Amino acid sequence: MARLSLQVREALKRQVPKVAKKDLNREVRKAFKRTKNQMMKEFLQLPITQELLAGPESANISGTLRGVTNLFAFIGFDAGEKPVDIIIQALENTNIQFRKELKKGEKLGAEYSINLPTPEQIFAITPMPWALGRSWARGIESGISGLGFLLRKNNRGRSGRAIQSRVKVRGGAFKPTPYITAFLQKYKKKFECLEYKK
Amino acid sequence: MKEQFQHKVTTSFFMWFDNFLLTKGEAFSNKTGEFSYYEDARLDSTYKAYGSPFKTWVTDSSITGATIPTGVFINGNFSGRDDGVVLDFENGRALVSGSDEDLTVTGEFSVKDFNVYITNDTEDDLIVENKYKVNSRLPSASYGAISPYDDVVPAVFISTANSTNEPFAFGGIQNTSVQVKAVILAEDTYQLDGVLSIFMDSVNECITSIPMTGYPITELGDLKDGSYSYTGSEAGYTDNRKFYVDSVTTSKLTDRDRKSLAHEMYVGFIDFDIKQMRLRFT
C-alpha cells in the first residue's frame, strides 16, 4: 500500500480534531437538549405547577392546603393570570454555550456553560400579587399566610374562587412544600453531569 | 422548661429590633403632659392607674435625646419608684400606690413612633381581622388616657416563622436559619418607607444573643433595675455567639389591596433570615 505523503498526513492531522470537535459539540448539545426537555416535562408535571396552571377552579392536588380551596385562590391571583408562565419561560431560556477546548494528551474535550436560572432569579420574577417584593414561589417553600385569600375575598373575589369559599382559610392551613429550590438543585446536578464519551 | 435556642432568638431579635429602629430612625417623640385616672379591673388594688395619651414609652437610655422617666409629678411634687410609683412603660401610664383617684399627675416621657410587639397572630389576623387603637401624634383638642393592654398602631408585629438546621462543619456544627417576619402598620407612607428603609439596610448586622433573663421589663411594665440600656445589656453578653442578619426582603401591600382593608393603615412586610452557626441544644 502506498504511503501517504507527509503533506497529506499533516493536513489530516489538522482536520481530525476539527471533525471530532464538531461531532463532540453535536453530541453534547443533543445530551443537553435531552436533559432540558426532561426538565421542562418534569416541571410541568409537578403538582404545584399543575394546580396553578389549572387556575381558580383547580382542586388542591398539591395537598398544600389540605384540600381546602386551591393555591391559585389562596395566593390571591386574579382570574386569567398565568403565574407559572414566567417560570416556564425562564426554564425555556436555559441554554448551553461552548467555553473552551480541553486537551489532555491524545484526549479531546470541551468545556460548556449552562445558564440554568438560580432559585433567587426565579424568586425575583414571581411576586406575590398583593406584595410585590415577596415571592409566591419562595412562599410555597417557606409558608404563605392566608392574607391574599382574605384580601381577594374582601375585594369581591378577583380570583373568581375566593369569594365562593365559605370556609375560613388561615395561613396556618398552608403546608410549606419543596418546589423551585429542590427542583433547580436536582437539574443543576444533572446538567453538571452531562457527559459525552466516545 | 428551661430556655431554648428559639427563646433566645426571639428575645434577642426583639430587643435588637426596637433599639435599631429607635437609634437609626430616631423614631420617637418627647412628650410632656397630664395623666388621667381610669379604672383598671386587672390591676392590684394597691395601685391606681393614671394614664398618658400615648404608649409605648421608650425604655432604652442608650437612645440619644430620649426622655426616660424615673417618676412623675403628683400634685406638683416629684414621686419616683421609692415613693411607690410604678412606671408602666408598655401601657404608657403611672401606677400610683394608694387609693386617691383625683390626683394631678404630670410627667415627661418619650413615646415610640412604632410600638413593637411579638405576636403569634397570622398576617391575615393582623392586617384584616384585628381592630386597633391609633396612637396618633397629631395635636388634638383633648387627650384622654390610652386604654391599656390593647395593641396600638403604628406598630410592628414580629413573629418567628420557621427554622431549619443545615450541617455546616465537622463536629456537629449546624447553620441554623430562622425566618423572622415583621408586619408594619403605619399611618402614612413616610413612616412606612422609613421603617422599610432602615431594616433593608440591616443586612449583615450582628445581633447579640441575650437570654430571657436579660429582658428588662417586669410584669407591671416597669424596668427591672430602674433603668435599661440596650448597649449596656449587650455588653453583659459579649461572649455569647452572635446571630447575624443574612438577608432582608422588604415589601408593601399594594395600593389596590390596601383599599380593600377596613382600616386606613399602610401595610409593609419585612422578611428576615437570621443565622447562627451553633451546636445543637446550645
ipTM field: 0.79
Give the chain A residue whose CA is nearest to the CA of B247.
Answer: A120
Q: Which residues of B touch A145 (CB under 8 A)?
A: 122-124
Which of B257, B265, B272, B274 is the best substitution to test chain A (most A C-beta atoms within 10 A)?
Answer: B257
Residue A164 is predicted with a pLDDT of 44
Residues of A within 8 A of B184 (CB-CB) are none
Which has more confidence, A75 or A151? Answer: A75
Q: What is the pLDDT of residue A19?
A: 65
In whole angstroms, give the CA distance from residue B9 to residue B231: 17
Query: What pLDDT is recorded for position A163?
Result: 44
Q: What is the 3-state secondary structure (H, E, C) of chain A?
A: CCCCCHHHHHHHHHHHHHHHHHHHHHHHHHHHHHHHHHHHHHHHHCHHHHHHHCHHHCCCCCCCCCCCCCHHHHHCCCCCCCCCHHHHHHHHCCCEEEEEEEEECCEEEEEEEECCCCHHHHHHCCECCCECCCEHHHHHHHCCCCHHHHHHHHCCCCCCCHHHCCCCCCHHHCCCCCCHHHHHHHHHHHHHCCCCCC
**Contact criterion met (CB < 8 Å) for A133 and B250:** yes
Determine what percent of chain A is predicted with pLDDT higher than 70.
79
Cis peptide before B154 (omega within 30 of 0): yes
Name chain B contacts of A132, Cβ cutoff 8 Å: 251-252, 254
Mark yes or no for CB contact A133/B127 under 8 Å.
Answer: no
Task: State yes or no: pLDDT of A91 exceeds 80.
Answer: yes
Locate the chain B residue with the closest alpha carbon to A157. B260
| Total beta-carbon pairs less than 8 A apart between chain A and chain B | 60
Nearest to B179 among A132, A142, A147 (CB): A142
Answer whether A146 touches B (CB < 8 Å): yes
Q: Which residue of A has its CA nearest to B200?
A: A133
Average pLDDT on A186-194 reads 91
Low-confidence ranges of chain B (pLDDT < 70): 136-143
Report pLDDT for A166: 44
DSSP-derived letter for residue A163 is G
pLDDT given at position A25: 85
Q: Which of A131, A155, A176 sits opposite B252 (nearest CB)?
A: A131
Amino acid B162: pLDDT? 85
Q: Test B122 with A172 for CB contact under 8 angstroms.
A: yes
- Nearest-by-Cβ selection for B128 from A132, A143, A147: A147
C-alpha cell recorded at residue B191: 413612616
B213: which DSSP letter?
G
Q: What are the tens digits of pLDDT across the range A117-166? A: 999 999 999 999 999 999 999 999 988 888 888 887 665 555 555 444 44
Mean pLDDT of the region A168-175: 64
Considering only CB atoms, A130 lies closest to which of B122, B161, B254, namely B254
Mean predicted lDDT score pLDDT of chain A: 84
**Is A131 within 8 Å of B123 when comparing Cβ atoms?**
no
- Find the closest chain A residue to B127 by CA distance: A147
Report the alpha-carbon distance of residue A14 to residue A17 in Å, rounded: 7
User: Cβ contact (<8 Å) for B123 and A142?
Assistant: no
Question: Considering only CA atoms, which of B161, B210, B165, B236 is closest in space to residue B7?
Answer: B210
Which of A134, A151, A176 has the CB atom closest to B269's CB atom? A134
A42 DSSP 8-state letter: H
Cell of B170: 465537622
